[in-house]
């Protein structure tokens, strides 16, 4: 039986093209993905391996996040980086600890992002963005080890049905090696069929040369949104208006939706000026209040931005850690804020299921 539809005549083909063009023009410049907006949280643990990531507390955490309206979860496995470029990754027992939280999230109707990190502490590098080398053999060593780590994680993402995978996080010092990055992305595509991004630090997103090879522009969204300590709501919204334009320009230039792979604030009076800094606390009560105020406004802005596909709040620890210092989210006032932003009205149930996997 021939199930192929009849070939339209030229006039019908012209009319269809005209109709599509009209729809695209009337829709405006948005490049947001067609998938549901990702109301996400990054779940973290103190150690990487069995006993934490695959413990009952992880399941309980996912259940609670669902009641708050969270429909996506990110986890971030680690490999270590050494000063000579060695990337140390031992799969072994880490594999089931990676797969279980992803599968548990899918069972609860949540989408997932697997976002590998390089643990730089103890290496001599002050942060991931400072990873760079003077010698060719060190670069060869780095990309050989990093390739093995990322491909192993991509295979796990495929096995678990993760919707999103990040090929790197905050590695601005390596971006000059574009050909190597493009080769790695092609290899990841060969073993993983979900969607790909790269998590660029907020001030480096414009420097990434391979956005065209990925499905979304990933941004670690620690944008400064105020110039003074303890800013008002008006100050914060004015700051976010500038960020809004910056994100829109990124999306338009690369014709990709923007995925905020991290967004968070420390409980600090300087949180709106330096969101990434959890050391400059100042007055604790004012810092806690600012953390809540800044998060509330950020969620309001990003969910209504036409080019943003989703956001992952940083971060949530399974188990009893109900305090609001650093970037921790699981304390009563923040839970209430997240629920008010994301939960369906008059409901304590999770939002409609997001299809896991590809």
The string of DSSP codes covering 245-303 is: HHHHHHHHHHT--EEEEEE---SSTTTTT-TT-SS---SHHHHHHHHHHHHHHHHHHHH
Domain residue ranges of the chain, discontinuous segments joined by +: 33-342
Find the helix packing angle between 136-160 and 178-191, rounded to 10°. Answer: 20
Nearest to 292 by CA among 319, 320, 259, 331: 331
| Homologous superfamily, domain 33-342 | Glycosidases (3.20.20.80)
Regions of the chain where pLDDT drops below 50: 1-29, 346-358
pTM of the model: 0.86
Contact 215, 256 (CB under 8 A): yes
Find the helix packing angle between 284-303 and 332-342, rounded to 10°. Answer: 10
* CA atoms within 13 A of residue 350's CA, in its CB half-sphere: 21
- Residue pLDDT, tens place only, 96-140: 777 889 999 999 999 999 999 999 988 899 999 999 999 999 999
Mapping DSSP to helix (H, G, I), strand (E, B) and coil, where does residue 68 land? coil
pLDDT of residue 98: 78
């Amino acid at each position: 039986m021939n199930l192929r539809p009849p070939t339209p005549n030229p006039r019908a083909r012209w009319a269809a093209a005209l109709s599509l063009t009209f729809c695209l023009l009337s829709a405006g410049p948005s490049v947001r993905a067609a998938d549901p907006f990702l109301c996400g949280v990054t779940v973290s643990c103190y150690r990487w391996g069995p006993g934490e990531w695959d413990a009952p507390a992880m399941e309980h955490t996912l259940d609670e996040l669902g009641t708050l309206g969270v429909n996506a979860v990110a986890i971030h496995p680690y490999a270590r980086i050494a000063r000579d470029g060695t990337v140390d990754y031992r799969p072994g027992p880490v594999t089931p600890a990676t797969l279980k939280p992803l599968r548990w999230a899918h069972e609860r109707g949540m989408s997932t992002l697997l976002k590998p990190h390089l643990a730089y502490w103890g290496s001599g590098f002050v942060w991931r963005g400072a990873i760079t080398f003077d010698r060719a053999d060190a670069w060869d060593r780095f990309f050989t080890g990093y390739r093995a780590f990322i491909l192993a994680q991509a295979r796990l993402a495929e096995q678990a049905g993760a919707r999103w995978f990040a090929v790197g996080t905050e590695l601005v010092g390596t971006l000059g090696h574009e050909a190597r990055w493009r080769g790695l992305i092609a290899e990841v595509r060969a073993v993983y069929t979900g969607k790909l991004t790269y998590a660029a630090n907020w001030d480096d997103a414009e420097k990434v040369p391979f956005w065209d090879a990925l499905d979304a522009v990933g941004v670690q969204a620690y944008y400064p949104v105020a110039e003074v300590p303890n800013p008002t709501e008006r100050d914060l919204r004015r700051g976010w208006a500038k960020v809004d334009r910056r994100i829109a320009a990124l999306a338009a230039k690369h014709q990709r939706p923007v995925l905020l792979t991290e967004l968070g604030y420390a409980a600090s009076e300087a949180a709106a000026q330096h969101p990434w800094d959890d050391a400059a606390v100042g007055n604790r009560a004012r810092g806690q209040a600012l953390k809540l105020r800044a998060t509330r406004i950020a969620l309001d802005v990003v969910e209504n931005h036409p080019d943003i596909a989703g956001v992952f709040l940083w971060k949530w620890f399974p188990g009893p850690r109900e305090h609001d210092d650093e970037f921790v989210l699981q304390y009563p006032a923040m839970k209430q804020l997240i629920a008010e932003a994301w939960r369906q009205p008059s409901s304590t149930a999770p939002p409609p299921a997001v299809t896991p996997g590809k």
